[in-house]
């Protein structure tokens, strides 16, 4: 058995308009091909091309969830700071001040949690309608 030489020695020249080139390049960017020549070779030789599809509604959901995660992180940080301050208090007057700050932080945290629940509810309704 003779091994086949896999070196590509033949050239194929092709001219495209700027619009055609842009279209081919957009299609190439959606695939797993590493080089434009690899993509073109697969298309010209009718070989399978793996294309990545993006779900725009999932992208929107991810954007919302990232924002909500950031809000929860901020609320958690505020709560941790309040607890640290509680542990460092030495006088009753400081404790009263801390209680007032704690109540404010607790109210803000509950508002954020309610907002997150509303976002999740709205997103699930949109998801189920599509």
Question: Tens digits of per-residue pLDDT, 55-107?
Answer: 666 667 778 888 888 888 888 788 778 777 777 766 667 777 777 888 888 88
Binned at pLDDT 50, 70 and 90, residue 1 comes out as very low
Query: In the numeric block, which tokens belong to residue 53?
Result: 């599809």
For residue 85, is it within any domain?
Answer: yes
Question: Are residues 36 and 64 both part of a single domain?
Answer: no
Question: Are residues 112 and 124 both part of a single domain?
Answer: yes
Task: Let me know: does 72 contact 112? Beta carbons within 8 Å.
Answer: yes
Name the residue range of residue 49's domain: 13-53
* CA max distance for the chain: 93
Question: Are residues 124 and 60 both part of a single domain?
Answer: yes
Question: Are residues 117 and 60 both part of a single domain?
Answer: yes
For residue 2, is it within any domain?
Answer: no
CA 83, CA 75: separation in Å to the nearest integer? 13
pTM: 0.39
For residue 68, is it within any domain?
Answer: yes
Looking at the structure of the chain, the number of domains it has is 2
Buried b (16+ CB within 10 A) or exposed e, 50-83: eeeeeeeeeeebeeeeeebeebeeebeebeeebe
Binned at pLDDT 50, 70 and 90, residue 17 comes out as very high
For residue 4, is it within any domain?
Answer: no
């Amino acid at each position: 058995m003779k091994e086949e030489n896999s070196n590509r020695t033949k050239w194929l020249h092709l001219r495209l308009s700027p619009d055609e080139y842009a279209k081919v390049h957009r299609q190439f960017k959606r695939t797993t091909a590493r080089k434009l020549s690899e993509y073109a070779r697969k298309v010209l030789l009718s070989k399978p091309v793996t294309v990545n599809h993006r779900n725009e509604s999932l992208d929107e959901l991810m954007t919302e969830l990232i924002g909500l995660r950031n809000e929860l992180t901020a609320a958690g940080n505020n709560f941790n700071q309040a607890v640290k301050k509680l542990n460092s208090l030495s006088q009753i007057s400081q404790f009263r001040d801390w209680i007032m700050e704690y109540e404010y932080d607790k109210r803000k945290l509950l508002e954020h949690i309610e907002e997150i629940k509303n976002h999740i509810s709205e997103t699930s309704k949109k998801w189920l309608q599509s």
